[in-house]
């Protein structure tokens, strides 16, 4: 299955018809901007360095965000899918959505750092659920914002989410090797 298959084209058309121009969602794209992600990640790294002094966790954050960025950039230039045809469209490639992939990676990474590591910041199940639900809602709206603005097809966003989640899970697996919390379920 490729982005040129009838099923994917129908999905992209349906999502565009439903979401294009829904202006209140477009504001969420700022949470997926690369500069914003790197600034927030840097703040998280400083927090870990000062409060936790866990260098493997710092490397986990750095790898997730840094390699996540490199992953979607590499795939964009490997696949070279053109963006949707709108006025003032970006000149970069469309597949996968960097906002969707990178947004998912950094938000799940932050939730994981604050909820699933030694010296947890979040100590109640209610607060834990709130952090994860907030991250998931932001992830959804960051991805949807790319469709509402006409910057990406829905299939670009879905691919970004799937690739980002795969990278996140692989990174968690790496981090938990030899970590006393590795049997903790989430």
Residues serving a catalytic function are 99, 152
- List C-alpha distances in Å: 51 to 43, 48, 172, 178: 12, 5, 20, 21
Per the CB < 8 A criterion, the answer to whether 63 and 177 are in contact is: no
Per the document, the length of the chain is 186
CA distance 174 to 168: 10
Place of tokens 């990174």: 171
3-state helix, strand, coil in the chain (%, to 5): 70, 0, 30
In our burial notation (b when 16+ CB lie closer than 10 A, e otherwise), range 82-100 reads ebbeeeeeeeebbbbbbbb
What is the SS3 assignment for 48? Answer: helix
């Amino acid at each position: 299955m490729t982005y040129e298959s009838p099923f994917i084209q129908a999905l992209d058309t349906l999502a565009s018809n439903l979401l294009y121009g829904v202006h209140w969602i477009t504001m969420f794209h700022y949470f997926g901007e690369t500069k914003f992600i790197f600034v927030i990640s840097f703040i998280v790294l400083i927090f870990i360095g000062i409060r936790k002094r866990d260098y493997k966790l710092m490397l986990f954050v750095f790898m997730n965000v840094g390699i996540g960025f490199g992953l979607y950039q590499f795939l964009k230039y490997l696949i070279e899918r053109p963006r949707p045809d709108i006025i003032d469209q970006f000149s970069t490639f469309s597949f996968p959505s960097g906002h969707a992939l990178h947004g998912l990676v950094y938000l799940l990474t932050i939730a994981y750092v604050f909820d699933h590591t030694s010296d947890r910041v979040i100590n109640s199940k209610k607060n834990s659920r709130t952090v994860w639900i907030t991250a998931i809602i932001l992830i959804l709206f960051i991805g949807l914002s790319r469709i509402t603005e006409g910057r990406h097809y829905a299939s670009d966003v879905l691919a970004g989410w799937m690739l980002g989640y795969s990278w996140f899970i692989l990174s968690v697996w790496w981090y938990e090797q030899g970590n006393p919390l590795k049997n903790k379920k989430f």
